[in-house]
Amino acid sequence: MARPDYYGNPAGITEEIEIVRGLYDAFERRDLDAMLAAISEDCVLHFEGTARLAGRSTPYVGHAGLREYFADVQRLWEELVLHATDYRAVPGSVIVMGHITGRRQGLDVRRSSVWTWKVTGGRATSVKAADLGDMA
């Protein structure tokens, strides 16, 4: 049975979901400029998995932080794919459920994930990635 169009989006919010979808599409293409255009200059990026691998204890912040994150992904991951499969929205926030797949130091990685995005004025202002653990 197909889900109704409003499933996970009872407020009918489409612009915020499209902004976040665009961020995932841009990441898949490794299009840094497209991602920079969609985040605020002071956006706080809590990508703790990659940050921890890079030896960081603080989030990536702003456009410079996104550039650092891209550099860390390139340096630390042989492959990293974000699979955003379910989007839910309330005014100002988009929750994305999915998983990541990747390859690091010759080992395959597959982890369940949830990302919580804050969107204000047509741009993402923060994101927090939650690692839910290994996928079976």
Query: If you classify domain 15-134 with CATH, what class do you get?
Result: alpha beta
User: pLDDT by residue (tens digit) across 101-118?
Assistant: 999 999 999 999 999 999
**In which element (H, E) is residue 110 found?**
strand 107-120
pLDDT score, position 29: 97
Cα separation, 62 vs 111, whole angstroms: 26
User: pLDDT by residue (tens digit) across 27-86?
Assistant: 999 999 999 999 999 999 999 999 999 999 999 999 999 999 999 999 999 999 999 999
Q: Which two tokens stand for residue 41?
A: 């200059």
Alpha carbons within 13 A on the beta-carbon side of 14: 3
pLDDT score, position 132: 85
19 has a pLDDT exceeding 80:
yes
Cα separation, 59 vs 128, whole angstroms: 9
Q: Which two tokens stand for residue 51?
A: 């940050």
Domain regions of the chain by residue span: 15-134
Higher pLDDT, 42 or 1: 42
